[in-house]
Structure formats: C-alpha cells, structure tokens
C-alpha cells in the first residue's frame, strides 16, 4: 500500500524522537492507520553533521522550501521551533493542502488562530498536542474528554526547568542561583534561561490550555506573568512550616463569561496532588463543573515523551485522511469572554514582612488589613530575641488582588513595616 | 435545526447526571456538535416514582423495546447495568442502526468483542469511556493519546469502594469489617459488597484497559483476582513501617507478545504517585516505552463525573454522524498475545510470617529462599520479648510467582514457620 509521506522540519531532540518512534513502532502504527508511514524528507541545519541515528543522506535538505513545496509530502511535522519564519512555512504548506503537526507552543500561542483559520479554509488538519506538557495528552483531554463539561479552573506545572529548580531548592535547601547553574550544566536550562525562569514559556502554554479549556480566544497579553527568579530559600522554608510548597503554577479560572490567566510562583498546600509533582515532570490539574477534580501527570519534555505526542497527532491526521474528514476540527472559540479586573480576581495570599520588633506593630498591621477589607487567616511570628526587627508571615483569607494591592500600598507609608519581602498567591 | 434524539436506558444515578448535563450544558454542546441534543425517551422501572429532577411524564417508559425500536431515536445511552438482557437491547439497537454509548463495564468486559464486531458490521459507534474510572478520560488516552506508543504497564486504582476502605483502614487504623459497614451506611459499598471487595469489578475494568492498552483481546479469564477482605491492620501497619501503602491495584504488564493482568492488594511505595490516591478517587498509571511514566487522576464514580464521560462520548458520536464516519473506530485488537505463566510473572514480594522465636530460625528461612532462588532485600523482626513466637517481615528482590509459590510450599514443611500470615506483591 502507498505510504503516507511525512516532511520533517527539524532534526533536534524531538525530531530525532519522531524518527525513532515512526521507525521503531512502524508495525503498530500501520496496523492502526492502514498504511505505512514514511519520513520522506528532513530539514536540517547542516547536512554533513554526524547524527545519533542512521538517516539516508538523500532525505536531508537544508532548504525548508524543498519540503514545503514537495508535492509528494502529505503531512508536515514541524519541530524546528521559531516563530515568524516558521509561520511562513506552515502557511505555505497549508496553502498547498498539506496537514500540519507541530510541537511549537510559541507559534500556536501567538498565531494559532490565524493558522487554524487557514487550515479550516484549506480543509487541512493542524494538531499540536506536543506543544503543551510533552507526553501528557492534555489537549485531547480538554477538547474531547471534557467536551461535555464546563471547565472552571486549570492549574498547570507546565515548565519542567522551573519545576526542577524549585524542587531542588525545596528538597536540598540550595539557593536559586546555584540550582540554576546546575540545571544549565545538566542541559535542563538554556544558556539564556529568561523564557523559562521568568514564566514566558509557561504563559504561552497557558494561553493554549485556557483557550481550549474555556473554548474562547485567550491572548498571551491576557496572561499576567511573574517568574521564579525572586523566590528565596526563606520563602520556601516559611512556606513549608505552614504546609505549603512553592511551585510555578499557571492558573486559569473562569466564572460565567469572566476569566483570568496568570503564571506565578504560588504557595500550594502540600496535600494538593499537584504539590507532589517534582523535578522535570509536568502536571495539569483540571476542575470541571461536572467532573470535579482531575489531574494529568507525566514527562513534560524530552525526546521520546514529546515525540509520542507528535506521532499520536500524526496517527490522528492519517486516520482523518483515510476517512476524508481533515480540516473538520471542532470550532472551539465560540465563547466570548472578558478578562477579570483586579477586583474580580480573588485568592488567599502569603506575605512575608520585615517589621520593627516592638509592641503594637501587629496591631497596626492588622488595622491595615482590616481597613482594606482583607481578613487574616493566620499569623506566624518566628521568635528573634534581642533584635530590633523581626519577620511576620501572614496568610489571608480569600481577598481580591485589588484589595491586596491596597494593603501593600498602605504598608509603604507605615514605618513599622520596614519591607515587604515576599507576596505569593496561595492555592489548595 | 433538527435535534439529535437520545434514548436513555436507565434513570438511576448516572442517568440522572446525563439528563442534568445534557440540559444544563445544552448551549455548549450544540455549539460543538452543530445541533441541539434532545433526550427523547427514558426507560425507568416505575413511571410513577417521584424524581429528583423534572422530567416530562410522556418521555418515560417501562418497556425497553419502546426505545430500542423507536425509529426516531438516533443514539442509545445505556446506563441501566445488567448483562444478558441489556446485551439483547444493545444488539437489537445496533441491528436497527442506532449508535450506543454505555457505562456498562460488565457488559463490555464480557461481551465487548461481540458488540464491537456487530457495530462495525452495521456502521455504528459503540463508545464506553464511562465504563472505567468514571470521569477520567482514560480510554481516549489509551486509544488516541498513546496511539503512537507501546504500552508496557498499566496500574490502576479503578474501584472507589475498596480504595475508600483501604484509605480509612490506613488513615484511621480501623478494622476491615468496621470500615466496610461504614461504607455501606454511606452508600459507598453495596449491601452485597462481593463484586467490589473481592476484586471482580476491578478485574472487569482491567480487562477493558489492558485490551485497549495492549491492542489485543484480553479475556476476563486471563485476570488473576484477589480481593481485600483478607487485608489486616497488621499488614497495613507493617507496610507503613517499611514505606508502603496497601492498595487494591489492577496491574497489566506486557513484554513483547507476553502479557499478564492481575487485581490484588499490593504494597506500593509511598513515594509512587499512585500511593497518594485516597478515598473514592481513582487513578490509572500508564508506562509507555516512549512516553515513560504518566498518571491520570479523578473521580471514579458518582452522578456527574461518570455522566461527564457518557456525554463526552455522545458528543463524539454526534460529531461522527455529522462527518458520516460512524462505525470506523480503529480496530485495536491486532496483537496476538500469550498469557504469561507463573515463571514469567515477576515482582518483589512482602511476606509476614509467624515464626518460632529461637536462634537459627532466620537461617532456616533464609535457606528456603535461597533454595528457591529468591533473594531477600530486607528483613524486619519486630522485638517481642519473652514470647515463644514472633513475627518476621521479609521483602524480596524481584522473583517469579512460581519461585514464590515454591517458597510458600517449602514453608509448609518447616516447623519453624508456624504460619504465613500474609503475602503481597510489592510495587514502586
């Protein structure tokens, strides 16, 4: 039977994994889709470079247009990354009736709507399971598994680098800068780690997950982002004493036609299932009105886990080809929603304050909270005998982000509060 | 637009949930499938019974054939349970070209192949996501999410009743019989709890999961089953001291063309993600060659979680109707596999032995293990001063089930071992 021909854009980590799975699981795959799958052409940066897997030299090209314009290619698998240039290749491939499987979260977060609209026009599939949470089939789960439900909350550990760093800081008591350096040496963090540690990577993934989960167009601009570079050992230690772990959580919430999406280091109760997700693992917690609490856990990156999702998408595209139903992906942005303002976003908060150590300070602080209508759940004052200053840790009840900002503003003119050392959202 | 008409067989817990979701999420659902969904007819035992939700009396019938033979009905949703009679209704509905969504694990475990074959013949869909693990979309995950991978192990907590009982026993130190009684009073366990506590319910679910995961026909007869009625507080306490929780785990393993499936109370390392799954929650841990470790967690039963899965299947069937591709479910039993014999099934084991308290006993016991080629990982001998007998807890290294049985046989003629109190498989 005539094989389905794949053009592979990129032969880095994930691309190599795709070749390994398509070749290693060929029997299984062709049993499922009804024909062989052949990786016919591969875009590489340097044709002469030595590869970790045997590849016929004739399949390699350094010119992406060779593949995009090759009339024999049925499906483009894009695992090269990049945004503007890559988008051009993909739009041109769609124009020529080729289906797309991509692992590119940046592209889908920024230009997903344009690309999906073009695909519908041209009767083509664009699948992107691998763009979020590597081997965890979370996109399928949101789109198909929970098609019947109204999703109210998504909390994700969707960046392995930062979870590795925070896990090491929590388990070994190491400082942020030291763990980052170690992660870079191990290849878990990039030489320029900004996109990971400042939360941008996670924000892009949350844009994708919240769009699908809420069936609405969520823009990257709608996501409020804070990274982990300010997380200290002190925060982690005090968090633990109160029963929390610090995790970089993407949090998307929906109430009726209002939504909010954020990425920020969060104090999460140790009893919550997501608090135990450690190292480079990813997890996505989903709460639906009907289904209640669910969680999906697995490797968030890596050659074979990510390639598993890419090739699962490939199987789905080929099945659609056999049925003649490509380009019929459900239209999932039918909800028109409004971004919550700061007075509509509520959570508990953790505050670590550096304060004067004298009688009446706590009363003054409590008065500020009360004036701003924020009620306090607990206060911890670690004893620091014979010093003129001390620390106070406060956990609030549910309060709006706006009210919390008012508290922080009021502290600026309160001499008893020398410094607000940390503020964290609290979950779980 | 003409609504899609559903015939609902059964208006118990799950049936009521289906009505609530189809009515409550009607806008969302019709946005996805492109037409309204109407529950046109409902089978009940007693038309005059008072219901917790308002239902038009004219929709209710006490005769299943009214629904099965109703030419206006497009899809049958079967949530009545039962096996022989229910199978007749479903086969007749398929004969008449109706699609089926069912939550019936018993039916699918015992007669799934026959029903699916009939569906293919008739160009009909039969979907059954709700039959395993309630609201967790585990069937989609195995069939679609991991279509590209070769699944080597599935471990599931797939029975909420037994997990509730074991959790209570572990957390509160209560005895099995007392917790069972409490679970019955709370409605978490049936008046006759045999099917749950003796593992049959879990075995049926594991038949379904392993068939899909291994893409092969696994029969219920292939599953070795042991329930939790023999689990004691002593087992749980000693397990904890060694870092294990006792869970009723369904375990399906595959190596090349060999497989094994069992349901048994298992000592699972507390660091394993599935060990923390408590109460009536379910979780399925899946290991794939490429994807590595993954886990899927959520409510395993209950009105709305289970109905979420039923209605998600309904959405999938209707989308297929719109595309004209019903009855084209992937043929997933292309692997011909052989059941492992006892010498091919290996695990670690936990043994609790009641032994004579005198010098040389441990040496004799160690000799038995050595003679049977089973090596010991650890031995714990809790001190029991001034008694003529004592307990020994042994954890073995990986050993075959056959070798372990030889050890147990040898103990029968070893007077130093007064009684083998417990044997558990060890995982994690």
Q: In whole angstroms, give the CA distance from residue B423 to residue B393.
A: 10
Which residue is closest to A293 within chain B, CA to CA?
B298
Inter-chain contact A299–B291, Cβ cutoff 8 Å? yes
The percent of residues above 70 in pLDDT, for chain B, comes to 99
Contact A134, A309 (CB under 8 A): yes
Number of other CB atoms surrounding residue B201 within 10 Å: 25
**Which residues are bridge partners to B183 per DSSP?**
none
Inter-chain contact B144–A323, Cβ cutoff 8 Å? no
At A390, give phi and psi (nearest 5°): -155, 180
Name every chain B residue with its beta carbon within 8 A of the beta carbon of A28: 150, 215
- B293: DSSP letter: E
What residues contact B84, with CB distance under 8 A and at least 6 apart? Answer: none
Q: How far is B3 from chain A (nearest CA, A)?
A: 17
- DSSP string for B295-309: EEEEE-SSHHHHHHH
Q: In whole angstroms, give the CA distance from residue A168 to residue A180.
A: 10
Contact B316, B127 (CB under 8 A): yes
pLDDT of residue A148: 96
Buried residues in B57-95 as b, exposed as e (16+ CB within 10 A): eebbbeebeebbebeebbbbbbbbbeeeebbebbbebbe
Contact A290, B305 (CB under 8 A): yes
Inter-chain contact A141–B144, Cβ cutoff 8 Å? no
* Confidence label for B1 from pLDDT (cuts 50, 70 and 90): confident
Whether pLDDT at A82 is above 90: yes
Residue A373: strand, helix, or coil: coil
Cα-based torsion angle of the residue sequence A353, A354, A360, A364 in order, rounded to the nearest 10 degrees: -40
Q: How far is A61 from chain B (nearest CA, A)?
A: 26
Q: In whole angstroms, give the CA distance from residue A285 to residue B228.
A: 30
Task: Give Dmax (Cα) for chain A.
Answer: 85
Query: Domains of chain B: which residue ranges?
Result: 4-133+303-323, 138-299, 346-427
Q: How far is B17 from chain A (nearest CA, A)?
A: 9
Q: Mean pLDDT, to the nearest integer, of A264-278?
A: 96
Whether pLDDT at B384 is above 80: no
| Highest CATH level, class, for B138-299 | alpha beta
Name which of B145, B297, B310 is nearest A312 (Cβ-Cβ): B145
Q: Tell me whether residue A11 is annotated as binding.
A: yes
Name every chain A residue with its beta carbon within 8 A of the beta carbon of B308: 146, 148-149, 288, 290-291
Please choose, from the candidates A205, A344, A335, A212, the residue with its C-alpha nearest in 3D space to the C-alpha of residue A282: A205
Ramachandran class of B290: left when φ > 0, alpha when ψ lies in -120 to 50, beta otherwise = alpha
* Confidence label for A120 from pLDDT (cuts 50, 70 and 90): very high
Q: How far is A102 from chain B (nearest CA, A)?
A: 15
Inter-chain contact A292–B305, Cβ cutoff 8 Å? yes
More confident residue, A139 or B1: A139
Name every chain B residue with its beta carbon within 8 A of the beta carbon of A321: none
Please choose, from the candidates B211, B291, B306, the residue with its C-alpha nearest in 3D space to the C-alpha of residue B250: B211
Whether pLDDT at B341 is above 70: yes
Name every chain B residue with its beta carbon within 8 A of the beta carbon of A295: 295-298
HSE (side-chain half, CA atoms, 13 Å) at B343: 3
Which of B145, B257, B327, B428 is the best substitution to test chain A (most A C-beta atoms within 10 A)? Answer: B145
Beta-strand runs (E) in A256-316: 258-269, 281-288, 292-299
The percent of residues above 70 in pLDDT, for chain A, comes to 99
* Confidence label for B333 from pLDDT (cuts 50, 70 and 90): confident
Which residue is closest to A306 within chain B, CA to CA?
B291
pLDDT of residue A328: 85
Please state the ipTM of this predicted complex.
0.94
Inter-chain contact B145–A141, Cβ cutoff 8 Å? yes
Name every chain B residue with its beta carbon within 8 A of the beta carbon of A314: 148
pLDDT of residue B400: 98
Name every chain B residue with its beta carbon within 8 A of the beta carbon of A146: 137, 308, 312
Name every chain A residue with its beta carbon within 8 A of the beta carbon of B311: 147-148
Name every chain B residue with its beta carbon within 8 A of the beta carbon of A32: 147, 330, 332
pLDDT digits (tens, 9 = 90+) for B40-56: 999 999 999 999 999 99
Active-site residue numbers of A?
A: 205
At B327, give phi and psi (nearest 5°): 75, 15
Name which of A147, A294, A316 is nearest B135 (Cβ-Cβ): A294
Which residue is closest to A302 within chain B, CA to CA?
B291
Q: Mean pLDDT, to the nearest integer, of B64-81?
A: 98
Inter-chain contact B144–A146, Cβ cutoff 8 Å? no
pLDDT of residue A330: 65
pLDDT digits (tens, 9 = 90+) for B299-327: 999 999 999 999 999 999 999 999 999 99
Name which of B215, B295, B323 is nearest A325 (Cβ-Cβ): B323
Residue B206: alpha-carbon gap to chain centroid: 5
pLDDT of residue B62: 98
Q: Tell me whether residue A134 is annotated as binding.
A: no
CATH fold, domain B346-427, is Alpha-Beta Plaits (3.30.70)
Whether pLDDT at B295 is above 90: yes
pLDDT of residue B332: 74
Name which of A145, A149, A293 is nearest B140 (Cβ-Cβ): A145
pLDDT of residue A332: 74
Whether pLDDT at B331 is above 80: no
| Count of H-run helices and E-run strands, chain A | 14, 18
The percent of residues above 90 in pLDDT, for chain B, comes to 94
Q: How far is A211 from chain B (nearest CA, A)?
A: 15
Whether pLDDT at B389 is above 90: no
Q: Tell me whether residue A16 is annotated as binding.
A: yes
Inter-chain contact A308–B334, Cβ cutoff 8 Å? no
| Highest CATH level, class, for A4-132+303-323 | alpha beta
Which of A19, A22, A137 is the best substitution to test chain B (most B C-beta atoms within 10 A)? Answer: A137
pLDDT of residue A389: 83
Name every chain B residue with its beta carbon within 8 A of the beta carbon of A325: 323, 325
Give residue for tokens 């400082």: A175
**Which residues are bridge partners to A247 per DSSP?**
A266
Structure tokens at B323: 């595309």
Detail the residues of B annotated as belonging to a binding site for L-homoserine: 190
Q: In whole angstroms, give the CA distance from residue A242 to residue A235.
A: 11
Whether pLDDT at B330 is above 90: no
Active-site residue numbers of B?
A: 205
Name which of B294, B304, B330 is nearest A291 (Cβ-Cβ): B304
Structure tokens at A177: 């800068």
Q: In whole angstroms, give the CA distance from residue A56 to residue A71.
A: 20
pLDDT digits (tens, 9 = 90+) for B254-291: 999 999 999 999 999 999 999 999 999 999 999 999 99
pLDDT digits (tens, 9 = 90+) for B85-117: 999 999 999 999 999 999 999 999 999 999 999
pLDDT digits (tens, 9 = 90+) for B193-214: 999 999 999 999 999 999 999 9
Which residue is closest to A285 within chain B, CA to CA?
B297
Inter-chain contact B308–A148, Cβ cutoff 8 Å? yes
Name which of B21, B137, B295 is nearest A145 (Cβ-Cβ): B137
- B144: DSSP letter: I
Whether pLDDT at B180 is above 90: yes
Please choose, from the candidates B342, B347, B345, B373, the residue with its C-alpha nearest in 3D space to the C-alpha of residue B255: B345
A281-288 vs A151-157, strand pairing mode: antiparallel
CATH fold, domain B4-133+303-323, is Rossmann fold (3.40.50)
Question: Chain-wide mean pLDDT for chain A?
Answer: 96
- DSSP string for A67-125: HHT-TT--EEEE-S--SHHHHHHHHHHHHTT-EEEE--HHHHHHHHHHHHHHHHHHT--
Name which of A21, A145, A276 is nearest B290 (Cβ-Cβ): A21
Q: Mean pLDDT, to the nearest integer, of A154-162?
A: 97
Inter-chain contact A298–B299, Cβ cutoff 8 Å? no
Q: How far is B303 from chain A (nearest CA, A)?
A: 9
Structure tokens at B407: 């050890």
Q: In whole angstroms, give the CA distance from residue B82 to residue B88.
A: 11
Residue B121 burial (C-beta neighbours within 10 Å; 0-12, 13-18, 19+): exposed
Inter-chain contact A323–B319, Cβ cutoff 8 Å? no
Taking each helix axis as running N to C, give the angle between helix B26-33 and helix B303-323, from 0 to 180 degrees, rounded to the nearest 10: 30
Name which of A25, A140, A148 is nearest B311 (Cβ-Cβ): A148
Lowest-confidence region among A196-210, A262-276, A386-400: A386-400
Three-state helix/strand/coil letters over B226-248: CCCCCCCHHHHHHHHHCCEEEEE
Name every chain B residue with its beta carbon within 8 A of the beta carbon of A137: 140-141, 144-146
Which of A144, A326, A331 is the best substitution to test chain B (most B C-beta atoms within 10 A)? Answer: A144
Whether pLDDT at B75 is above 90: yes
Contact B9, B93 (CB under 8 A): no
More confident residue, A334 or A400: A400
pLDDT digits (tens, 9 = 90+) for A33-80: 999 999 999 999 999 999 999 999 999 999 999 999 999 999 999 999
Q: How far is A97 from chain B (nearest CA, A)?
A: 19
Q: In whole angstroms, give the CA distance from residue B305 to residue A291.
A: 4
Q: In whole angstroms, give the CA distance from residue B203 to residue B361.
A: 39
Q: In whole angstroms, give the CA distance from residue B214 to residue B151.
A: 6
Ramachandran class of B324: left when φ > 0, alpha when ψ lies in -120 to 50, beta otherwise = left
Contact B29, B37 (CB under 8 A): yes
Q: In whole angstroms, give the CA distance from residue B390 to residue B370.
A: 22
List, in sequence order, the alpha helices (H) in B25-159: 26-33, 64-68, 84-95, 105-122, 138-140
Question: Chain-wide mean pLDDT for chain B?
Answer: 96
Which residue is closest to A331 within chain B, CA to CA?
B32
Whether pLDDT at B348 is above 70: yes
Contact B419, B408 (CB under 8 A): no
């Amino acid at each position: 039977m005539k094989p389905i021909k794949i053009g592979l854009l990129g032969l880095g980590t994930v691309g190599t994994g795709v070749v390994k799975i398509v070749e290693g699981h060929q029997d299984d795959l062709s049993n499922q889709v009804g024909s062989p799958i052949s990786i016919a052409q591969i875009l590489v940066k340097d044709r002469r470079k030595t590869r970790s897997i045997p590849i016929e030299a004739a399949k390699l090209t350094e010119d992406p247009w060779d593949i995009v314009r090759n009339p024999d290619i049925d499906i483009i698998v894009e695992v090269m990354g990049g945004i503007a240039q890559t988008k051009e290749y993909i739009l041109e491939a769609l124009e020529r009736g080729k289906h797309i499987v991509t692992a590119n979260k940046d592209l889908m977060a920024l230009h997903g709507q344009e690309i999906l609209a073009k695909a519908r026009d041209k009767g083509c599939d664009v699948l992107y399971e691998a763009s979020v949470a590597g081997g965890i089939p979370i996109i399928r789960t949101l789109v198909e598994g929970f098609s019947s439900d109204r999703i109210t909350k998504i909390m994700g550990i969707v960046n392995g680098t930062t979870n590795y760093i925070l896990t090491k800081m929590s388990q070994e008591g190491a400082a942020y800068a030291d763990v980052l350096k170690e992660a870079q040496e191990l290849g878990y963090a990039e030489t320029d780690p900004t996109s990971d540690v400042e939360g941008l990577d996670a924000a892009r993934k949350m844009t994708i997950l919240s769009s699908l989960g809420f069936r609405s167009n969520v823009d990257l601009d709608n996501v409020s982002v804070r990274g982990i570079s300010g997380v200290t050992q002190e925060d982690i230690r005090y968090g633990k004493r109160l029963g929390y772990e610090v995790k970089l959580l993407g949090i998307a919430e929906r109430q009726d036609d209002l939504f909010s999406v954020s990425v920020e280091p969060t104090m999460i109760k140790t009893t919550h299932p997501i608090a135990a997700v450690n190292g480079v693992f990813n997890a996505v917690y989903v709460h639906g009105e009907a289904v209640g609490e669910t969680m999906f856990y697995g490797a968030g990156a890596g050659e074979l886990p990510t390639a598993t999702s890419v090739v699962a998408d490939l199987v789905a595209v080929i099945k659609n080809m056999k049925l003649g139903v490509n380009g019929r992906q459900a239209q999932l942005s039918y909800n028109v929603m409004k971004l919550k303002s700061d007075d509509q976003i509520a959570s508990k908060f953790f505050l670590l304050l550096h304060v004067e150590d004298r009688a009446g300070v706590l009363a003054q602080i409590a008065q500020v909270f009360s004036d701003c209508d924020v009620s306090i759940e607990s206060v911890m004052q670690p004893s620091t005998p014979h010093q003129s200053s001390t620390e106070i840790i406060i956990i609030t009840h549910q309060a709006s982000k706006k009210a919390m900002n008012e508290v922080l503003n009021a502290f600026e003119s309160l001499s008893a509060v020398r410094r607000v050392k940390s503020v964290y959202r609290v979950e779980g």
